[in-house]
Chain A
């Protein structure tokens, strides 16, 4: 990259942040390729596939937050971390509740749609 020359310290900082993005990208790539590859090229049981897909997705989401959005456990970023964790709690209550209620209704009222 061209541009003004950076001080030594700034250049190091930049390099470490660049590394951060590259590591994140590679991790995300791997975590994408695993589930796609398993679904496309193997025939392990569906439940195992679901498990792997879900796990990879979960890890990849954390990877994105950590490497692209810079959410870490560092003290000065707790405010945002708290916000995200609270949001996830509300999301879990609402989505979990929705699934629980609707599938419970299905088992009693539309058995054909129950899992």
Chain B
């Protein structure tokens, strides 16, 4: 761990960013609180999914619909993107160097978009096999939980684009730094939710 402990989890701004630090205090803590509220939403959707596993109503079930390979690819895309976002945070913290920051952010964005694209293809394949949400309670629960995560990733990508625009206009000012710090929390958090999804939904369904 760093010798100079950062003041907040997910907050990777160092000594030269004192101003951003104090601005961060409230914003980052507030964002954590929001994430925890969101966590309850995901948690209840997970619980709902489990209670509806039996409600397949004679329709296709997990083993008919899920593919290990695509679940694995999506998992890898998200995990690597979490790492690249970490690298972006490091660039922000230790170098006033926009070039590497932007490169890491772009890589993250591409990985995020690839994840969404792959997930959409996956859903399409499920539709072709008759796995549409109106088919059964089980599929309804699946299509509330997993796409909600996808929707979050989409919003995170839009936010990332908006922040890249802000970097272009204002450079690395306090607002941008605070924004990137909060987006980093969202990004890592979404990866954590995905751990739940691939373990419980995909692996649990295929086991």
The short answer to whether A and B are in direct contact, CB under 8 Å, is yes
Are B33 and A57 neighbours in the complex by a CB distance under 8 Å?
no
Q: Is the CB of B188 within 8 A of A68?
A: yes
What is the interface of chain A mostly: helix, strand, loop, or mixed? helix
Question: What is the distance, in angstroms, from B201's C-beta to the closest C-beta of chain A?
Answer: 11
In the complex, what residues of B have CB within 8 A of residue A74's CB? 5
- Residues of B near A54 (CB, < 8 A) are 199
Q: Taking A64-B82, A95-B44, A99-B47 as contacts, is the C-beta distance between A13 and B4 under 8 angstroms?
A: yes
- The listed residue (B55, B95, B203, B207) touching A3 by CB distance below 8 A is B95
Most chain A CB neighbours (cut-off 10 Å) among B9, B55, B97, B196: B9
Residues of B within 8 A of A114 (CB): 54
Q: Which residue of A lies closest to B197 (CB)?
A: A57
Question: Which residue of chain A is the closest to B199 with respect to CB atoms?
Answer: A57
Contacts of B48 in A (CB 8 A): 98
A-B contact count (CB 8 A): 165
Contact yes or no, A53 B207, CB < 8 A: yes
A3 partner residues in chain B, CB cutoff 8 A: 91, 94-97, 99-100
Main secondary structure of the interface of B (DSSP, over half): helix
- Return chain B residues, CB-CB under 8 Å to A53: 199-200, 203-204, 207
Q: Choose among A2, A32, A39 the residue that contacts B99 (Cβ–Cβ < 8 A).
A: A2
Nearest residue (CB) in A for B196 is A57
Residue B155 interfacial (CB < 8 Å): no
- Contacts of B198 on A, CB cut-off 8 Å? 32
- Cross-chain contact A29 with B2 (CB below 8 angstroms): no
Of B76, B83, B203, B204, most buried by chain A (CB within 10 Å of CB) is B203
Q: Does B148 lie at the interface of the complex (its beta carbon under 8 Å from any beta carbon of A)?
A: no
Q: Point out the residues of chain A lying under 8 angstroms from B40, CB to CB.
A: 87, 90-91, 94
Which residue of B has the minimal Cβ distance to A113? Answer: B54
- Chain B contacts to A: CB under 8 angstroms: 1-12, 14-15, 29, 32-33, 36, 39-40, 43-44, 46-48, 50-51, 54-55, 68, 71-72, 75-76, 79, 82-83, 86-87, 90-91, 93-97, 99-100, 185, 188-189, 191-192, 195-196, 198-200, 203-204, 206-207
Known: A21-B90, A77-B8. 11 other contacts (CB 8 A): A2-B97, A3-B99, A17-B12, A20-B2, A28-B82, A36-B203, A53-B207, A57-B199, A70-B6, A84-B36, A99-B51
Q: Would you mind naming 10 contact pairs between A and B with Cβ atoms under 8 Å apart?
A: A6-B95, A17-B1, A36-B72, A53-B199, A53-B204, A69-B185, A69-B189, A70-B10, A87-B40, A99-B47
* Chain A residues within 8 Å of B, Cβ to Cβ: 1-4, 6, 9-10, 12-14, 16-18, 20-21, 24-25, 28-29, 32, 35-36, 39-40, 46, 49-50, 53-54, 56-57, 60-61, 64-65, 68-72, 74, 76-77, 79-80, 83-84, 87, 90-91, 94-95, 98-99, 102-103, 106, 112-114
